[in-house]
Every structure is written in C-alpha cells, then in structure tokens.
Amino acid sequence: MTLRIGRLSIALALCGALLVVAACREEDGPQLPDAFAYLPSNTSVLLVASVSAFAGTPGLERLEHEALETDGLGDILREADISLSEAVDTLYIALSGAVSAQDLSSGQGASAVVHTMLPENFLPDLMARSGESFREERVDGETVWVLEGASEPIAAAALPGGHLGFGTLDSVRDMVRRAHGKLPGLTADASVISTIAPLDATAAVWGVAQLDEGTADQAWQNPLMSGLSHVKYLTWTANHDAATGLALDLNAICGSADEAQQVKSYVQTLVGLAALGQQSNKDLATVLNALTITTTGDRTTVHVVVPPDVLQSWMEDADGIGRMLPGRS
C-alpha cells in the first residue's frame, strides 16, 4: 500500500492532473486556500492541484484505476459509490528550505495536504482496512497514524475543514500543531504570498518555487543551466482543454528587467539546441517549435501548448511525464 499511495500522490502532482485552487482575490489581500495554514511557513516549492479539471483524461482514468486497486481505499470508494475525482478536490504539496534536484524528483521531505469531499471517518477507516500495521500517536489531542519501516516514518492525520495531512512523522506533527495555532503556516510568509497573488486563480494547475541563494546554487550547478542564475522565483500555471490540449506558462522572476532579458536570451538558446536534438522525436519537436518566450519587466515567460494527441501519447506511455523533465528524452 505504501508504494501505491506514494506513486498515486506523485502522479497526481506531476501529471498536473489537479489544481482548482481557491481564488486569489484582491480585497484586503489575496484570498488564500485554507490548506495554506497547515503548510510550512518556510515553504520554498509549492504545487497545488485538483483532480476535477482533468476528469475524463487518460491520465486521470489510470489514477482512478490505481486508486481502486489500493488496499482499503478502493473498498471505501466503492462503498461510497464515489470516484477519485469526486472524492479528492485539491492536492497541495510543499517542500521547505533549500531544495535539491534529488528532493524534487523523489518527493523526500514533502508535506502534502489533500482537501477531500470524504466523510470525517475516512482516514481511520482507511487505516483499519489498509493491511498495514499503523501505530497511533496523539499530538495536541489529535490522532496521528504512523507507519514505520521506511528510512523515515511516514504519517497521516485528519485536519480541520475536510483536509488530510500526509508526510514524514515530524511534518505531520507540525501540521497538527499549525491547526491548533501553535506554529505559523504558509500564510505567514509574505514573500511567497506576494509572488502567488498575481497567478491565474482559474488555472487548473499552479505553483511557485523560491530560489534562495543555497537553493539556486544547487539548481543551477549544471553548466548548461548556469545562465539561469538570475532567477529568484519560478511560477507556473497550466490549463487543460480537450480541444486544444495542455497550455503551460512558466514564469522566471528575476531581480531586474535587464536580468530578465538575459534569461530570455539564454532560454531561447537552450530551446533552439533542444529542438535541433529532437528532430527525430516529432511530438517533442512540435511542442518546442510552437513554444514562445517573452519578457515583461523583471519576468520572463515561456508559453507552451501540448496538443491533445501529443499529450495523450505521452500519458499513455508510463514514462511519458518523465520526457517533459530536464535530462530525460
């Protein structure tokens, strides 16, 4: 069950199969999702995702099938006569502090909060049916379920407002403490919140990565990526449409307009080299050739559309998402 739940969470995030986020409205400040209160105040990478935006896609259908085969979870969904896309509303994944490329690929150190439409007794029922030996621990009067045996214990807890928290034992303990007001949540980090506020509130998928000096050193240590060292934040939004495919906007926020222009030039060079090297891969060549790069002030934006037939081809391949990540072909 542990491996299946892990694969399910990562697939939900990477497929972009998710993220109908509560809107960021301009009133007294951005209206933030309640789940932010349970995430670390020093979050440096945030991905928010919602299942419903991708209902009916091959990728989500595969996730639905895997959920039904997961011990305990499948039984609960069948008994409630509810699909995964109906049960799970939004997934929030956060990494805190300096984040390495290995952390990004493995998900190690991630805190995950899921907003669901499931009954209050869902988590205890799932733990009882899972076939795994979970032990119970009390944190501020709340039950935390802990699974030993991995390199680091993993845990789960029910949080207010229909939210579930997953991650390492320490991260879940902290989520419970945040729910009780004993630790600050992501809502306390003004720099990340101000970066999130301009993002498209209607996007199917969005996220932000804050590159402090330590994180940037790790991210850009590859000589091929050194030209991106001016980037302070990365933000992204994605929308899926059955007719047009997946539209992705990746924004690199720099320290000045001049730095943004340098990043634009460097990205154009990288894309040109990648396109030359992928002429035999017609799908990827199509996507790269249609890609556009623009600058506005201190921001460089890369806009790319993955046509429906290409997207379906990638998602039908078990390693399709991997082709979209750096260093994969």
Digit-by-digit pLDDT tens for the chain (329 residues) are 443 444 444 343 333 333 333 333 334 455 788 999 999 988 888 888 877 777 777 677 777 777 777 767 777 778 778 777 778 888 898 988 665 544 454 455 688 999 988 887 888 888 888 777 788 999 999 999 998 766 778 899 999 999 999 998 999 999 999 999 999 998 877 677 777 766 765 678 888 888 765 555 555 555 556 667 788 888 898 888 878 888 999 999 998 999 999 999 988 888 888 777 766 778 888 888 889 999 999 999 999 998 888 877 776 664 444 444 333 33
pLDDT of residue 87: 81
- Cα distance between residue 92 and residue 139, in whole Å: 22
- Reference 35, options 165, 204, 169; nearest CA is 165
User: How far is C-alpha 100 from the chain's CA centre?
Assistant: 16
* DSSP secondary structure of 263-305: HHHHHHHHHHHHHHHTTT-HHHHHHHHT-EEEEETTEEEEEEE
Cα–Cα dist 16/11, whole Å: 8
How many Cα atoms occupy the beta-carbon half-sphere of 307 within 13 Å?
A: 11
The residue type found at 263 is V
Residue 100 has a pLDDT of: 52
C-alpha–C-alpha distance, residues 283 and 329, integer Å: 11
CA pair distance 35, 112, nearest whole angstrom: 10
Task: Give the per-residue pLDDT at 98.
Answer: 60
Q: What are 92's two structure tokens?
A: 């929030």
Q: Give me the pLDDT at residue 318, please.
A: 43
- Is the CB of residue 300 less than 8 Å from the CB of residue 270? no
Beta strands in 160-219 (DSSP E): 163-168, 205-210
What distance in Å separates the CA atoms of residue 119 and residue 240, rounded to the nearest whole number?
29
- Tokens encoding 308: 């429906």
- What is the C-alpha to C-alpha distance for residues 248 and 63, in angstroms, rounded to an integer? 22
Amino acid occupying residue 205: V
Q: In whole angstroms, give the CA distance from residue 156 to residue 6.
A: 13
Contact between 300 and 267 under an 8 Å Cβ cutoff? The reply is: yes
What does the block give as tokens for 310? 């290409």
The neighbour count for residue 118, using CB atoms within 10 Å, is 22
Instruction: Mark out the alpha helices in 70-154 (DSSP H runs).
Output: 73-80, 84-87, 101-106, 122-129
d(CA 192, CA 196) in angstroms, rounded, equals 6
pTM for this model (two decimals): 0.76
Q: At what angle do helices 73-80 and 58-69 cross, to 10 degrees?
A: 110
Q: How far is residue 51's CA from residue 66's CA, in Å, rounded to a whole number?
A: 14
